[in-house]
């Protein structure tokens, strides 16, 4: 049948339109796909850049974030690093304070001041566990703030005329206090203040009412400190994660896997069906027409995790000063000499903090005595008031090196008369020199009296030969 030309032309036009529309739609779809691909590539690149920028060896770069995380780890509410952080902080506090505070006189005078200082420390439990607690808090926050206040003596509540100075710890995490310094002196702390919260009222302490010390950070920024453990928080988390990875790998691959070698699928199915309801135990004996064995998986990659753990332990030990065997890795100690050298390392790593604490407690005693004088001894002359300059504070440290010097250097010098007995006694940690000298004096006087009495008795029992004749 002949189709009129007009109809054919119309059909061709429609077909061309359809084709063009189809191609246009196809082009539109391709264009959309290209745009999506461009966005995808762009987003991926941005995401890669962001992840690269976020990748860091230190995940806690602000004081606020670091102290909050240290607190969570120490109290056991963090996801990682709980055991390691708690051990490091407690050990460092113990090594810093040692056997506790020791107050003594600077010279011959000062018996009244020494007696008052010892009572002051006892009143605030600073001669026992509180000194350790303060050191622990300073290791968490990197700084310490202590409030001084005169209060009725709780040991003598019936006597309304007796007072004593109390010492109370102020937590930065709890109160977010601010330190106000002199405009021209970063170390002249003039005020300590904090705003009102749900638990605390707004308060401002003047310089005579508080003692503030930092254990890290720059002196130009009095509010921000740097706890020693802050610099290796990320490594502590990595160590905990690596130990967990090791545990997971052992959990997966440590158990033997039973394997039966079959010829074809039919035999595989028969074997699986035969053992699916069996409570197979290693001591049972199996027999069959195919090979049966236990698979030993190659997990040499675990050695890399072990090396990572050792490297992290060493890094944490070097940063905090805690010897590796105190972190539980005693196998890293090659010999006894190495362990002794590491003990010297922690003594060196805590020297700065120990000196800061000595300065802190000397300032505490000085301000407490001034506060006491203003309330109790206000009518007395300056000579009758407590004089804080007559008292000194020390935190004795006992190390093998210290005893070696005593034995090999100072003891021979004392025996040879090059050093006095008093000088030698002051070098023995934990010894009350004044009390020891008094005991020595009493003993020498007693020996003199005893010898004198013995000589007199001997004369009575054995008269001279001339008198006897």
pLDDT at 58: 86
pLDDT at 127: 84
As to burial, measured by CB atoms within 10 angstroms (0-12 exposed, 13-18 middle, 19+ buried), residue 368 is: buried
DSSP per-residue letters across 96-153: HHTT--EEEESSS--HHHHHHHHHHHHHTTTTTHHHHHHHHHHHHHSEEEEEEEEEE-
As to burial, measured by CB atoms within 10 angstroms (0-12 exposed, 13-18 middle, 19+ buried), residue 321 is: buried
Helical pair 63-75 and 233-253, crossing angle rounded to 10 deg = 40
CA gap 338, 72 in Å, rounded = 34
How do residues 219-255 score in pLDDT, each as one tens digit?
A: 999 998 999 999 999 999 999 999 998 888 877 776 6
φ, ψ for residue 448, nearest 5 deg = -65, -45
- Location of structure tokens 């004392």: 414
- Left (φ > 0), alpha (ψ -120 to 50) or beta: where does 110 sit? left
φ, ψ for residue 104, nearest 5 deg = -150, 170
3-state secondary structure at position 212? strand
- Enumerate the β-bridge partners of residue 167: 148
pLDDT at 51: 46
pLDDT at 115: 92
Q: Is the pTM of this model over 0.75?
A: no
Under 8 Å between Cβ of 326 and 91: yes
Which residues are CB-contacts of 102 (< 8 A; sequence separation ≥ 6)?
Answer: 393, 394, 395, 396, 430
φ, ψ for residue 324, nearest 5 deg = -60, -30
Domain ranges (residues) in the chain: 63-230+352-394, 400-458
- Location of structure tokens 């808090």: 137
CA gap 372, 219 in Å, rounded = 31
Query: Of 229, 231, 290, which Cα lies nearest the Cα of 258?
Result: 290
Task: Return the beta strands (E) in 341-416 as ranges.
Answer: 391-394
Stretches in the chain below the pLDDT threshold 70: 1-55, 158-161, 254-257, 279-290, 292-301, 334-343, 379, 383, 398-400, 402-403, 429-430, 432, 461-469
Distance from chain centroid for Cα 46? 38
Tokens (6 digits) for 317 = 């030990």
Start-to-end Cα distance in the chain: 185
pLDDT at 18: 54
How do residues 48-57 score in pLDDT, each as one tens digit?
A: 445 445 567 8
pLDDT at 23: 58
CA gap 434, 440 in Å, rounded = 10
Tokens (6 digits) for 426 = 């002051």
How do residues 293-334 score in pLDDT, each as one tens digit?
A: 666 666 666 788 888 999 999 999 989 988 888 888 877 776
- Buried-exposed string 131-147: b where 16+ CB fall within 10 A, e elsewhere: bbebbbbbbbbbbbbbe
pLDDT above 90 covers what percent of the chain?
A: 37
3-state secondary structure at position 416? coil
Which residues are CB-contacts of 206 (< 8 A; sequence separation ≥ 6)?
Answer: 190, 191
Tokens (6 digits) for 459 = 């004369």
Tokens (6 digits) for 55 = 């990748």
Tokens (6 digits) for 129 = 């566990």
């Amino acid at each position: 049948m002949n189709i009129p030309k007009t109809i054919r032309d119309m059909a061709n036009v429609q077909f061309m339109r359809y084709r063009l529309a189809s191609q246009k739609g196809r082009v539109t779809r391709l264009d959309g796909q290209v745009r999506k691909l461009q966005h995808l590539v762009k987003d991926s690149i941005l995401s890669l850049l962001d992840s690269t920028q976020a990748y860091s060896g230190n995940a806690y770069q602000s004081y606020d974030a670091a102290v909050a995380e240290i607190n969570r780890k120490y109290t056991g509410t963090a996801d990682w690093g709980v055991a390691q952080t708690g051990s490091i902080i407690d050990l460092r506090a113990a090594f810093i304070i040692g056997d506790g505070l020791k107050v003594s006189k600077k010279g011959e005078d000062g018996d009244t001041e020494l007696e008052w200082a010892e009572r002051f420390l006892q009143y605030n439990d600073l001669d026992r566990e509180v000194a350790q607690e303060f050191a622990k808090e300073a290791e968490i926050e990197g700084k310490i703030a202590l409030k001084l206040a005169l209060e009725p003596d709780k040991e003598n509540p019936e006597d309304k005329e007796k007072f004593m100075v109390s010492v109370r710890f102020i937590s930065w995490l709890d109160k977010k206090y601010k330190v106000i310094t002199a405009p021209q002196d970063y170390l002249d702390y003039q005020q300590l203040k904090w705003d009102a919260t749900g638990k605390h009222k707004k308060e401002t302490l003047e310089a005579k009412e508080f003692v503030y010390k930092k254990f890290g950070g720059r002196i130009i920024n009095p509010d921000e400190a740097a706890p020693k453990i802050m610099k290796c928080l990320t490594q502590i988390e990595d160590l905990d994660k690596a130990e967990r990875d090791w545990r997971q790998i052992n959990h997966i691959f440590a158990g033997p896997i039973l394997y039966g070698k079959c010829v074809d699928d039919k035999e595989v199915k028969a074997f699986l069906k035969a053992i699916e309801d069996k409570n197979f135990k290693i001591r049972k004996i199996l027999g069959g027409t195919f090979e049966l064995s236990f698979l030993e998986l190659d997990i040499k990659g675990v050695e890399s995790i072990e090396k990572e753990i050792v490297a992290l332990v060493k890094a944490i030990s070097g940063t905090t000063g805690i010897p590796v065997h105190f972190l539980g890795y005693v196998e890293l100690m090659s010999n006894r000499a190495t362990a002794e050298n590491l003990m010297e390392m922690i003594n060196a790593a805590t020297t700065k903090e120990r000196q800061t604490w000595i300065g802190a407690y000397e300032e505490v005693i000085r301000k407490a005595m001034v506060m006491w004088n203003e309330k109790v001894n206000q009518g007395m002359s300056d000579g009758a008031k407590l004089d804080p300059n007559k008292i000194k504070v020390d935190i004795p440290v006992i190390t093998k090196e210290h005893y070696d010097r005593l034995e090999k250097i100072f003891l021979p010098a004392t025996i040879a008369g090059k050093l006095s007995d008093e000088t030698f006694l002051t070098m023995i940690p934990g010894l009350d020199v004044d009390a020891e000298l008094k005991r020595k004096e009493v003993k020498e006087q007693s020996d003199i009296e005893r010898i004198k009495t013995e000589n007199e008795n001997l004369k009575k029992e054995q008269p001279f030969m001339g008198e006897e004749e």
